[in-house]
Amino acid sequence: MYQRIRDLREDKDMTQREMAELLHCSQRVYSNYEKGERDIPTEILIALARFHKTSTDYILGLTNKK
């Protein structure tokens, strides 16, 4: 899951700071999401899926279909 959110962000050529601003969190917190050092809250997971126009199942690794 953590690699997927990084890949999705990089596909949009966004920095961690830009993604963090969009999610209303600090860059450090977002970085910890990508490294798997912090659990991703449900509301953040949903926001990521909406922003990237994908499903939460894809982000969670339950499907490979974006």
Q: CA–CA separation, 13 vs 10, rounded Å?
A: 5
Give the residue among 14, 2, 3 at the shortest CA–CA distance from 51.
14
**Averaged confidence pLDDT in the chain:** 95
Inter-CA distances, 10 with 7, 42, Å: 5, 22
- Domain chopping of the chain, boundaries: 2-60
Q: Percent of the chain beyond pLDDT 70?
A: 100
In sequence order, which ranges of 1-66 are alpha helices (DSSP H)?
A: 2-11, 16-23, 27-35, 42-51, 56-60
The pTM for the full model equals 0.89
Determine the CATH number of domain 2-60.
1.10.260.40
Per residue in 20-50, pLDDT tens?
A: 999 999 999 999 999 999 999 999 999 999 9
